[in-house]
Structure 1
């Protein structure tokens, strides 16, 4: 069982000066990864991220899952929630974020972001193993997955599927935005590794186009 871990508020959170709100997207910076893959990064896109974390942690209908692995059933080491395109997001700012991302990437992506998926990493024991979002269209065509993180930072690690020693790492939390684009889901893998360090909880919100999962 995971114990109750309280979020340590960010020194840079500014809920007292305007509540939960989005900043502009013109600060996005692109990092080419190779093989047609890239990352766009924008630290602190969401202001008031700690307030949003608390609301999502207490109001989202989180579910625990179990899955078959190595001939036995194990707990998925994180809590999950999903919101299809027709569902109301769990907080109005997430609907605004989806619209802003859809508008910003309209020409490059050619379609809007539609679905929301949420992952709740309660402490350093929660994680997600190396994978690409390749169920559906991401397995055969370029696409994008945008991730907004609230709560304590956790490391997003990426490595090329072709092998080698290259690993790209970015700590994400407190309103940071990352967008994985181009061939990233096919040619690279990503993970949130476990850590023995004492870390607080984090929630990631993933925005995906239709048919990408």
Structure 2
């Protein structure tokens, strides 16, 4: 377990929370059983397919809106419950939803953003589980005058926790790469607050 000493943040990384066999099992189950979709986002008046596949699961009524899209949850399935029940005691947090992303290869990625939508409330706890190929996870401050940067290599079977003021002060991304890279599944567990 590593805790990063970045200002205005709480970021903790567990590189091997699941054994190789456990992580392989979860990856296979989720890749085949999740209802993956490719959503479109509007940039400068044009629709573009997101460079990844996505799914939203959670408690009934836990609707999530980001990048102009509104997602309605599919009900929990066994592999998601297995992951949820393992991480909740570690973080001492209950989650009612999870956003899944399937990065099919290096051409799939996620641009700079923070998970600061109003549905997540103030100081949200985001628990990010990685399964499959290793990918670079980059962090930079929202303050453009601050040149501080951090890079974490997210490994198969790992857990990354972002809490405290992280989403208020920091941006993160999964950059694309031209290197050959196998698929990766990312699960970001969240708590949607009642409006």
Given the two structures, how large is their TM-score scaled by the length of structure 1?
0.77
Counterpart among 104, 121, 124 of residue 90 in structure 2: 104
1:186 & 1:168 partners in 2: Cα distance? Answer: 16
1:75 counterpart residue number: 49
1:38 counterpart residue number: 10
What is the CA deviation profile of residues 95-125 of structure 1, one whole-angstrom value per residue up to 9, with x for unaligned ones? 233234333333xxxx512211100000011
1:95 counterpart residue number: 81
- Give the 3-state SS of the residue equivalent to 1:129 in structure 2: strand
1:147 aligns with 2:132: no
- Give the 3-state SS of the residue equivalent to 1:123 in structure 2: coil
What is the CA deviation profile of residues 77-108 of structure 1, one whole-angstrom value per residue up to 9, with x for unaligned ones? 0000111224643333x3233234333333xx
Task: Give the RMSD, CA atoms, in angstroms.
Answer: 1.9
1:104 & 1:51 partners in 2: Cα distance? Answer: 21
Q: Unaligned 5+ residue runs, structure 1?
A: 1-27
The answer on whether the counterparts of 2:59 and 2:76 sit within 8 Å (CA) in structure 1 is: no
1:131 & 1:31 partners in 2: Cα distance? Answer: 19
2:54 & 2:4 partners in 1: Cα distance? Answer: 29
1:151 & 1:102 partners in 2: Cα distance? Answer: 21
Instruction: Give aligned pairs, total.
Output: 178
1:104 & 1:123 partners in 2: Cα distance? Answer: 30
Given the two structures, how large is their TM-score scaled by the length of structure 2?
0.84
1:105 & 1:51 partners in 2: Cα distance? Answer: 23
Could you tell which deviates more after superposition, 44-53 or 70-79? 44-53
- Give the 3-state SS of the residue equivalent to 1:126 in structure 2: coil
Q: Assess, with a 3 A threshold, how the Cα gap between structure 1 residues 97 and 56 changes in structure 2: closer, same or farther.
A: closer
- Give the 3-state SS of the residue equivalent to 1:155 in structure 2: strand
Q: Unaligned 5+ residue runs, structure 2?
A: 61-73
1:156 & 1:63 partners in 2: Cα distance? Answer: 23
